[in-house]
A and B are shown apart, each in its own frame.
Chain A
Amino acid sequence: DAKTTQPNSMESNEEEPVHLPCNHSTISGTDYIHWYRQLPSQGPEYVIHGLTSNVNNRMASLAIAEDRKSSTLILHRATLRDAAVYYCILRDASGAGSYQLTFGKGTKLSVIP
């Protein structure tokens, strides 16, 4: 899987929007962009994924740059429960890549009450 780069940590005030960036300059045309998060003392949790178009679900929005070399996970109103480590992961859609998830160190999001 291609490499991603994320900031080590970010802070947000409660009830404000949060934009978590991810750079993936070596992304291939068949790579999906996935986001997972890991709350303290829990297993990772799927958040959202996309290929080219922006995506929305009940948890978050994913904004993908036109050249696909970066993406941003958007939490519209951060709550204390959103404090977690957020991982941006590329998944090969061609079928040639592994099915494993390759986690980096992610971004640790702190939410301030």
Chain B
Amino acid sequence: DTGVSQDPRHKITKRGQNVTFRCDPISEHNRLYWYRQTLGQGPEFLTYFQNEAQLEKSRLLSDRFSAERPKGSFSTLEIQRTEQGDSAMYFCASSLGLTGGRDTQYFGPGTRLTVL
């Protein structure tokens, strides 16, 4: 399977702990995105990378959140000092980076975070 993969698929943690999620995009894709989805809502954009450069961050991405994409390959999303409000599905997506509005994103299966 050459789709987007995410690890872990589920994470349960206690409030105040740090967690880290990993995303492996489709190999030839140079753009990588992180989204968060809470129950009953559509996914919300968090941040995106063009190769290794983080080019855009949402206001949702508080100081407790940090994302990296070393060498423009896999990416990690770390949440420090987790809060119960961080409980959500976290999706990673990747795309080729086509110009204009034709670029399509391919999503991973997501990581479900539960903060107790």
Chain A positions near chain B (C-beta within 8 angstroms): 30-32, 34, 38, 42-46, 49, 51, 85, 87, 90-95, 98-106
Contact = CB atoms under 8 A, between A and B. Distances in A.
Contacts of A90: 101
B93 interface: yes
A46 B105 contact: yes
Interface residues of B, number: 29
Contacts of A92: 101
Contacts of A46: 104-106
Interface in B54-88: 55-56, 58
Contacts of A30: 100-101
Interface of B: 4, 31, 33, 35, 40-45, 48, 55-56, 58, 91, 93, 95, 99-110
CB-based closest 9 A-B pairs: A103-B42, A32-B101, A43-B107, A93-B101, A91-B101, A100-B45, A93-B100, A46-B104, A44-B107
B100 A43 contact: no
A43 B99 contact: no
A30 B67 CA distance: 31
A43 B101 contact: no
B93 A43 contact: yes
